[in-house]
Structure 1
């Protein structure tokens, strides 16, 4: 997996998706002001992500944020990979990645998160570009590379497993406001998903509607 990561809904995309662009990371990108870890805590479903090139065909990605302090949190990601099924002849393979993080100190308590995945020994910053806490959140990460290039990643997560079109449109409209391109985005699969109830219970997390009827 790549060492250049997108950390937050992150945890799957941490090593799986980023787009190489010319230039340096934009300096004028702003994150959500007065960000609240408490309001952001809970279950989120991945809906849109920067295209992945690993071939793992990741789907059914969910993220659970748990507040661990005024500016600290833990983050658990659960996802499924169809390629693993076909290659290793195993069904219902569930992957779990755990991260820990904190809100970086800033004048306006901006939603810039420093997320670490201990098992991978990687740390990266992710911007919560905008969230209403109840419906959607738009996340962005950027890493300058050697030379005149940078890697960036976008992810949209929602509270509902099957997000309404209006919610997705509102989230996607955040990108042009921040002068971030919508290119190389894909819609996530949240259908025919395995149940993650046992995994959530193991880590004392709560969730609902985690499996299809």
Structure 2
């Protein structure tokens, strides 16, 4: 029993994601994704708690197409007045499921899910990731709402929260990213 508890504490402190009991919610991605329209600048509006973002504000992402068909992900923000950056690689492993992307940050890191649940390309995107933890006992999840501007209309946020809830995703885990004074 202690080894399970120690393992769960380790997972909680190292995964940088939300840990919940039971299996992953049955989230469904968009059926299409126009990657060239998706590229460009996005600003983080809401996120699930992540240890690597503690203390950050003005978080943004820039997506550019690489020669190999993958997407270069350049995340940046400020933490206590200093700029922080993370470089990643995003790709589409199955063209039959184009919104079920994979992303990783760092050469030795494994790829994780980057599922586009909804985007209109011009204003917003809703991204979700979930992985099993100890089989059916639990899951680890992340979610983000990004916008092309540093703010989103409340009606869009409400729509995206409703979509997430319809899949069984607990939107109480979302917190608003500080985009003031950027």
**In structure 2, the residue corresponding to 1:173 is in which secondary structure?**
helix
Which residue in the other structure is 2:106 paired with? 118
- Pick the structure with more strand per residue: 2
Structure 1 runs not aligned, ≥5 long: 5-14, 83-91, 194-213
Alignment map for 1:1-213 (pairs within 5 Å): 17-26=16-25, 28-52=26-50, 56-68=54-66, 72-82=70-80, 92-107=81-96, 109-119=97-107, 121-146=109-134, 148-193=137-182
TM-score by length of 1: 0.71
CA RMSD of aligned residues (A): 2.4
Q: Is the 8 A contact 1:136 1:171 kept in 2?
A: no
Which residue in the other structure is 1:196 paired with? none
Structure 2 runs not aligned, ≥5 long: 1-9
Question: Number of residues paired by the alignment?
Answer: 170
Please give the alpha-carbon distance, in whole angstroms, between the structure 2 residues aligned to 1:126 and 1:43. Answer: 17
Q: Deviation per CA, 1:18-58: give whole Å up to 9, x if none.
A: 111111223x3211111111010010000111124568311
The alpha-carbon deviation at position 100 of structure 1 amounts to 1.2
Q: Deviation per CA, 1:133-189: give whole Å up to 9, x if none.
A: 111100111111125111111110001112222222222222123222212211110
